[in-house]
Structure formats: structure tokens, C-alpha cells
Amino acid sequence: MMPVVSVIITTYKRPVETVERAVSSVLNQTFQKLEILIVDDNPDEWKLHYGLKKLENKYTKNRVRYITYPGNHGACYARNAGLSEAKGEYVAFLDDDDEWMPHKLEKQLELMTDEDVAMVHCAVNTFHETSGKLYHGRKCVHHGMIYPQLIMENFIGSTSFPLIRKSCLLEIGGFDVLMQSAQDYDVRLRLSEKFRIEYVNEELGIYHVHSGEQITKNPDRKIAGLARLNAKNWNYLNQNSNKSAKWFRTIKIAPFYAMKGQWKNAIAIWWDSVKGRCAYAC
């Protein structure tokens, strides 16, 4: 039978044990009509060394499928590769270093009642691996047609925790491979322009913060991603009815120039944003 949910776990430079933790959190779901696709986006030498395909054999091929291709092409390419192979009506992406609570899919599917609901997200906990501390996630109040609120703040967070109707994700074209960062935010904005977004007010996942490779630690990629995100939403940001969103999104880039030590650029962006906001307010 066709699975209802296809879970796509993309992996890059993680040991098998970490990937297996993510896989186990999916297999332990109370909702079991699912498939797991492990998309190996590692460089070729990593693919040979770690041999993630053995997880397909360990959990049997009808529950876990291993997908690979030559070389490393980035998270968006890997997620689209998994999406193209997904057989389920819904898709859920899980980063290789995160994990789910057992009732996650069950709770989210309860809100997938109408076809105009494209995505259901949830609260999550954050675990800092260096300190060993677990922080509880904040609750969200926005649901429905939330684009105006979402453009001001990415309150949905990581790619690892929403459940998405596959037909809606395909309709907007999947993940943008030209996005160097904010890939998940870009998808949520494009979905929220056309469809309803719902929310489960429970902590249904664990987001892991660690010292490994993460896009959020690369200021160049953050700058490029946020600039492209703003360009893609420029018609809305430039409209007279919500100019505050334009200045708010523009100023978001300034801290990453500061991280690079480019204070002149950071201050210029900050000052232009402040002047623009003041001119509009006055």
C-alpha cells in the first residue's frame, strides 16, 4: 500500500550513529503508515567511508530506502531528490542531527483536515550538546493565512519539524537550489502565500545545537540567502501598506556583515533601514 507520509532524512558529514538516532525517532512514531528515505548528500569519499546504505538493509528496504548520487550538491538539491522519490501524500523532512517525539506525525495529521492546509508545524525543544541543557520551545499563536506575520519573523524554525502536503510543495516548485541559506524559510513563505498553515501547540521534536557543520555559522551564506529571500518577496515588501516589513527584512542582513568584520557595510545597512522606517512612519 502507498505510505501516507514520506519522511526524508538528508545527511551530510554525520556519523552513522547520529543518522540512526534520527531514523529511530521516526520508526518509533505512533503513526506507522510511512516510509523513510535517507538521502546521502556526502562527498564521495564520505559515502565510501561511512556506508549509510547499510541502514537500508538493517531496517529492510520496504521501510527505509537509501538514495544517493555522485558528489555533494547541498541541502535543497538533496531534499528535492527525496521529494521526487516520495510515495506518500504528505512529506516530512528531518535533518540528520535532529529527532522527533513519538506522537509528532499523529498530532500533525489530525490538523490536515482540509485540502487548503499545506503545512502543520509544532513547538520543539532545543538541546545544546556542549552544555547538555534542554530548552523548552516557545509557543506560536499564528495559524491560517499567515504570510503577513511570517514575513516579519520565521517563527516556524527548522526544516525538521513541519508536516507538508506533497501536492502543495510540488505546486510551488519544491526547494530553491540557489538559496544558500534560509531555504526552509523560503519554502514556508511561498506556501503561506497560497495555502493555510496550521500549528500543534505541543513540543514534538528536539533541535540539536552542536559544534558540527551548520549553515547558520557561515555569514557569507546567510547574507546571500537573506538577500535572495528579500528579492523574491520584494513586491510585497515594497508595497505601501506594509513598508515596515521591508525595513525589518533589510536590517536582518546587517549582523552577518558585522560577523565578518565588515562594520562599514553593517552600519550602512542598519542606517538605511532606520532612515527608511522613520521616513515611512513620519
Model confidence pLDDT, tens digit, residues 59-79: 877 789 999 999 999 999 999
Least confident stretch, 29-43, 132-146, 168-182, 186-200: 132-146
Q: Is residue 226 part of a domain?
A: no
Highest mean pLDDT among 2-6, 15-19, 129-133: 15-19
Per-residue pLDDT band for 86 (boundaries 50, 70, 90) equals very high
∠ at Cα 153 (22, 244), nearest 5°? 165
Phi/psi class of residue 138: alpha, beta or left (left: φ > 0; alpha: ψ in -120 to 50)? beta
Q: Is residue 183 part of a domain?
A: yes
SS3 track for 47-105: HHHHCCHHHHHHCCCCCEEEEECCCCCCHHHHHHHHHHHCCCCEEEEEECCCEECCCHH
Q: What number of other Cβ atoms are within 10 A of residue 57's Cβ?
A: 10
Q: Which residue has the cell 541543557?
A: 133
Q: Is residue 221 part of a domain?
A: no
Q: Is residue 207 part of a domain?
A: yes
Q: What number of other Cβ atoms are within 10 A of residue 144's Cβ?
A: 11
Q: Is residue 28 part of a domain?
A: yes
Q: Which domain holds residue 259?
A: 233-281
Contact 137, 126 (CB under 8 A): yes
Paired strand residues for 54: none
pLDDT at 59: 84
pLDDT at 98: 96
Q: What percentage of the chain exceeds 70 in pLDDT?
A: 90
pLDDT at 206: 93
- 256-271 pLDDT, tens digit per residue, is 878 888 877 777 777 6
**Higher-pLDDT residue of 55, 232:** 232
Q: Residue 204 is placed in which grid cell?
A: 514534538
Contact 161, 205 (CB under 8 A): yes
Average confidence (pLDDT) over 248-259: 82
If 0-12 CB within 10 Å is exposed, 13-18 middle and 19+ buried, where does residue 200 land? buried
Average confidence (pLDDT) over 110-138: 90
Per-residue pLDDT band for 118 (boundaries 50, 70, 90) equals very high
**Higher-pLDDT residue of 24, 253:** 24
- Give the start-end residues of each E strand in the chain: 5-11, 34-40, 64-68, 90-95, 99-100, 117-128, 133-135, 163-165, 196-209
Average confidence (pLDDT) over 17-45: 95
Name the pTM for this structure. 0.90
Could you say which DSSP state residue 239 is in? Answer: S
Quote the mean pLDDT of the chain. Answer: 88
Do 248 and 124 share a structural domain? Answer: no
Residue 55: name the closest of 24, 78, 25 by CA.
24
Do 162 and 260 share a structural domain? Answer: no
Do 134 and 63 share a structural domain? Answer: yes
**Higher-pLDDT residue of 256, 196:** 196
**Domain count along the chain:** 2
Q: Is residue 219 part of a domain?
A: no
- 154-163 pLDDT, tens digit per residue, is 999 889 999 9
